[in-house]
Structure 1
Amino acid sequence: MWLVTRCVAMALLLTSPGWSWADDATLTRLKVEGRSAWRALEESAATRSWAGRVTDEVQKTGEAKQPARHHGVEVVVRRRPDRLAFETHRQELPDKQSVAHFALVINPAYSFVVTKPQLTTKNWALSNLAVSAAETERSRQGVEMEHGWLIAPHRFYAGVRMDEWFDQPFVTLLQADAVREDGRELVRATFDFTLPADPNRTALRGEAVYDPGRGWAMLRRVIRRPGVSGVSDEAKIQYAGTDPSPLAWERVSVNSKLPSRELIKTFTIKSISQEPSPDESYTLPAYGLPEIGAPGDDQAGGQPPPTPPPSRGWGWGWLGLAAFSVVGLCLAATAVYRKRRTA
């Protein structure tokens, strides 16, 4: 009877959607304690803003590390539950294609992109304006995919809340166990996942380590392609030692490895604000541009939306700033895999 009960319990565990082969006690903590903590963390982080400096280095096989294309960039992130402003300010321009200053701003009514092509330029230029909800949502998803480690460092994956990650149909938890590091009890979760947008359904293996003593804050995560060596993407989050809050970030680093090179990006946070930024800071007038629908001197109605120049894509010139591009990792891993098959 005991054997039958054990077999039935094991079968139920293995066939549960999204959960397989995980330690019962640790899995319970992850599902109960972890998810409630992540939900509260997301709510607390929604009104925080922060600023910091990004540096990145490239190291090719057999060569010394060198500053990458986007070296030394000041980043400012302002967040509200229904608003987002993401700004980059360069102190130097290593090539002519780089934009000196860039801002993507989203509010409930519209979203826009403004730039300053040169360091000496005083005024912002409108390069993209979206007034539909669908376009605004695409803008938000795009910046979260490209720069999620800067906008929401506490998340594993830019566009998915941590408390919802293991419920996604493309994620399968393989194992969850307790580990001890530096006298702390941590929880490590290992899982497989594929991206819905990946046409090849490339299988990836992920591992994330959480600290229950710090509100289940994520300490690090690693992504690899099973069976492919030399390709990985690892992120680490460093917190203030004297502050137990999971929002007390100090440094976020991402190390992306490919067979031919290694890219290291580090975001050192200079300041974090808990004060909600005013609504006006998420509008066109905050960047010296007329507001949509503002009364004109010679017209009774409102002004039409300003006409932006031909769009070059809101991400042009600074895509190298992206620290964690899962799609790029998938393509690189697939190329290596195909090359080895044809070798």
Structure 2
Amino acid sequence: MASGTELLIVDGSDRDREGLRKFFDGKGYVCTAVRTADEAKALATKKFFPVALIDLDVGGEGHGVDLVRYVRSKSRPTAVILITSRASFDGAVEGLRAGVIDVVQKTRGQAEHLIRTVERAQERQAAQGGELYREVRAVLDDSFKVMLGLSRKVYAHLSLAATPLKPRVLIVDPEQEFLKELSQLVQDKDWDVAGEMNGGGALDRGSSTKLDIIATRDELPDLRGSMVIRSIQAQHGDVLGLLYTTEGDGKIERIEHGQVEDVDRPFTGAAQLIEKIDAVVEELGTRTQERRFIQAFSADHRDFLKRYAELKLKIDRLISD
């Protein structure tokens, strides 16, 4: 169970201190053994020990309790065990009041009890440490979200957010009159719109032009519109597709990454299609603004983000251990 756990041993008796050190070294603990309370205080100020063994009488009869209080004040997570070579009811009570988890006599008959107590202290400290690490991780994540939110408000006033998206829209429909109606409806739109009347032409344009949106009727003379959308999305995964059909009551499907994400029924005509494209353009504008913000934030805070990621990884490892 020890697996290299740090153990602080404080005992004024050279024989007892050395005996405890050798005993716990043999159990796999990394022991630091000191003779005086002052040495222990100096160590406790500089270094964290998961478990500490403190002799009741180090520095004088009953003075070990004062050291317990000091260690607990400097490192609340440290699990402290009070050890003693004499029976002292008052000392045991004072030790428990000071926060020790147990009082164990330094006799051969108590060796197994002592090791079990140390193991229990280690388990208790590890459990408390895990909760602490999780709390630190949560605070770290919340702090990052606050920083991100404040930065987003600042960047919203910069030119990176002010540049509007001019989407490249391809509309595919075999009916010339329908395309004319659509062209009239988009005259006041700041879109880069192109039209095709068949699937082959749409695929050619999709190969030669970076599109943002493709809206196509499913019933094309040469190919299914659904195949056209998925073929273009296979080449350019961020193209958003709108597939409409007039069969039955008709419908419009929104296709993203080759998957149908939304369906509107019925399909009522050109005005409805333009309304759907409008909604998609607004969404793409929001995505573009967010992408620009993330790029700017990453560039401005590269060192911080690196340290943040490294710290999160360390905390996650501590939690999993």
Q: TM-score range by the shorter chain?
A: under 0.3
TM-score by length of 2: 0.21
> Which is helix-richer, 1 or 2?
2
Does 1 or 2 have the higher relative contact order (CA < 8 Å, sep 6+)? 1
Task: Flag the structure with larger Rg.
Answer: 2
